[in-house]
Amino acid sequence: MPETYQCEETGRTFTTADEAHASETRFREIQDACAGGRVPELRQGDVIYIGTELYLGHGRDDFRGGLAEVSEVQEGKSKGQPVLYIRVVQQPDTLHNWRYLAAEQKKLRAGHGKDWAHADPDYRAEFNDW
């Protein structure tokens, strides 16, 4: 079995120590920039935090926040202003406003640690009747 290396920040597994180290370095760069009030450029494969989404009327769409891998970055508009939206592997049908999430990274990191974001549907009828 080939040897694998783990990113200490995200727990992702890589085939080389250099790849794992590069992942750690990139993650820290993003988090440090966000902690400094900046909105760093993202690229496909970067790892960030996204928040939890819980719904009273459509619990089947409940989603637990945490670490998430960026799959797409696109420009858009919100209230007539340019906005960077991102899509993540763990929630492919949702676009997230990166400027908003960048400002939330420190809080989200404190709340989620090394947990990865994932769907957490609640199919109980009382939470899916709207």
Domain residues of the chain, as ranges? 5-124
- CB count within 10 Å of CB 29 equals 12
Rounded to the nearest integer, the mean pLDDT of the chain is: 93
pLDDT at 55: 81
Quick one: pLDDT band at residue 15, thresholds 50, 70, 90? very high
**Confidence (pTM):** 0.90
Give the 3-state secondary structure of residue 54. Answer: coil
The values of phi and psi at residue 41, to 5°, are -65, 140
Confidence of residue 41 (pLDDT cuts 50, 70, 90): very high
